[in-house]
Chains A and B, each alone.
Chain A
Amino acid sequence: QVQLQESGPGLVKPSETLSLTCSVSGGSISRYYWSWIRQPPGKGLEWIANIYYSGSTNYNPSLKSRVTISVDTSKNQFSLRLSSVTAADTAVYYCARERYDNSWYVFDYWGQGTLVTVSS
């Protein structure tokens, strides 16, 4: 059973960079796409970016200038960096998997989510 676990600081200061890692266990990170999705408290879901295990990336245009997604296949992990954060970036951040197997199974596995608060 594939499991995803987000990790990183729960508190980030305004203007600094938010950094999160998603560790994948129970399966390989290879041959899949991996995404970051966030959810501000009490609000809806927003897709941030995804990355293929080979390193090709896609970004939400509204966040593209501040986001970097990367993958480390040797550690079975992928990461998110979001720069110049403000209070509007306060959210639960989820990592999730996308799988293609004659059909696209988008976000078939999710992490439990980690709350990141932007505050001084």
Chain B
Amino acid sequence: DIVMTQTPLSLSVTPGQPASISCMSSRSLLHSDGKTYLYWYLQRPGQSPQLLIYEVSSRFSGVPDRFSGSGSGTDFTLKISRVEAEDVGVYYCMQGVHLRTFGQGTKVEIK
């Protein structure tokens, strides 16, 4: 099984400041088709999760460009360039190369 490890588990950010979340996988997420199947989701309080980033760095439809994803192999990062109040919630990374496994989640709050 692939284990996904996120750091930090919680983050308090001043509005307008950047934020960064790391995600590490226990083995490479590079598929034999050449793509890397790493995803990021945001679960706002009381809501279902929503897809933010697919295949490491592609923003899903409607996702603001202040969100960006990067990384390769086993190390990945989600960055928010300027945090806004609506970005509050729990962020999850997930691997899709072998079945599906989520990270523990990172709770982001506003200072």
A binding-site residues for B, Cβ under 8 Å: 35, 44-47, 50, 58-62, 94, 103-108, 110-113
Contact = CB atoms under 8 A, between A and B. Distances in A.
A47 B102 contact: yes
A94 B56 CA distance: 23
A106 B48 contact: no
Contact of A61 (B1, B48, B96): B1
Given A104-B55, A106-B96, A110-B50, A46 B102 contact: yes
Interface string B4-36: 000000000000000000000000000000010
Given A47-B100, A61-B99, A107-B49, 17 more contacts: A35-B100, A44-B103, A45-B102, A47-B99, A50-B100, A60-B99, A61-B1, A62-B1, A103-B35, A104-B55, A105-B54, A106-B37, A106-B96, A107-B39, A110-B48, A112-B48, A113-B48
Contact of B101 (A47, A104, A112): A47
A113 B50 CA distance: 13
B81 interface: no
A74 B83 CA distance: 45
Contacts of A45: 41, 43, 49, 92, 94, 102, 105
A70 to B, nearest CB: 18
11 contacts: A35-B100, A44-B103, A45-B94, A58-B99, A94-B49, A103-B35, A104-B96, A107-B41, A107-B49, A110-B50, A111-B48
Contacts of A106: 37, 39, 51, 54, 94, 96, 100
Nearest to B50: A110
Contact of A44 (B1, B37, B92): B92
A37 B55 CA distance: 20
Contacts of A113: 48
Residue with the highest number of chain B CB atoms closer than 10 Å, among A50, A94, A104, A113 = A104
Nearest to A44: B105
A107 B60 CA distance: 11
Interface in B46-88: 48-51, 54-55, 58, 60
